[in-house]
């Protein structure tokens, strides 16, 4: 994930939302660069048993995140699903509000304030 100067902030939010969330490692740019001092050169974090990597790339890219690629999360409870959705939609955009869409009795899709797309599903409850 390229975060444009907010990688640390994004990782701290994401890891706070999951019981097993953790920042495994983070290397920051120093005074000698090449990126702005204190921004993330490379970082490894873990959510729901999945490994992710982030960087505050100092290179200008002609692209950003797209909902064509989403992080899929199977929530174990209604409370967990509702909490994740509420936290991730704050400052972002609901692409599909929480609801019953036929393929799932409780599903929501959101782009968070950093532009990352999340598909959130209540696990273990199949639509009939």
Helices (H), the chain: 7-16, 78-89
Is residue 59 very low, low, confident or very high in pLDDT (cuts 50, 70, 90)?
low
Residue 128 pLDDT class (50, 70, 90 cuts): very low
* Per-residue pLDDT tens over the stretch 79-127: 999 999 999 999 999 999 999 999 999 999 999 999 999 999 998 655 4
Per-chain mean pLDDT for the chain? 90
For the chain, which domains are there? 7-54 (3.30.720.100), 71-122 (3.30.720.110)
């Amino acid at each position: 994930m390229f975060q444009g100067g907010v990688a640390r902030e994004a990782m701290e939010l994401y890891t706070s939302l999951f019981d097993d969330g953790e920042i495994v490692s983070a290397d920051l740019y120093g005074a000698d660069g090449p990126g702005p001092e204190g921004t993330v050169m490379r970082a490894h974090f873990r959510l729901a048993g999945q490994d992710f990597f982030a960087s505050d790339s100092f290179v200008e890219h002609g692209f950003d995140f797209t909902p064509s690629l989403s992080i899929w999360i199977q929530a174990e409870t209604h409370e967990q699903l509702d909490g994740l959705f509420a936290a991730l939609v704050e400052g972002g955009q609901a692409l599909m509000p929480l609801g019953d869409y036929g393929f799932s009795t409780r599903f929501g899709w959101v782009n968070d304030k950093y532009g990352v797309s999340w598909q959130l599903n209540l696990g273990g409850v199949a639509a009939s």
